[in-house]
Amino acid sequence: MKDCSPDAIHRSVNGEVYIGNSCIGCGNCQKNCPYGVIQLEVKKDYARRNLWQTLFGLPESSRSESAEPQGGHSKAVKCDMCKDIIAGPACVRSCPTGAAMRASPEDFLGLIR
């Protein structure tokens, strides 16, 4: 995408568009996406809970619910069709009725005929 200043948006050999790790969260892609599928997600670094806090529901002393967590940053996100998973998109594999499918345009035209 020409509006992506860090050149973080790429297209795989299968045609899927994905966002690389060089995203700086500027928001140009979200504003200029013709399909409206790119959003900015704020990643926040919260304090980790230890085992005792998790098991017994003890309160976290280092984090207040009203305070903004430290280390928050934005990153563009969108569905990448599970590009790193060999078995294919998780939504297709988990669809209980088989209604979700992934097909190339040529295969799709063959299916509807």
**Per-residue pLDDT tens digits for 32-46:** 988 889 999 887 766
User: Which amino acid is located at 110 in the chain?
Assistant: G
More confident residue, 109 or 15: 109
CB atoms within 10 A of CB 50: 10
**Per-residue pLDDT tens digits for 72-91:** 678 999 998 888 888 888 99
Pairing of strands 9-11, 73-77: unpaired
Decide: 7 and 22 in contact? Cβ < 8 Å.
yes
Q: Is 103 exposed, middle or buried (0-12, 13-18, 19+ CB in 10 A)?
A: exposed
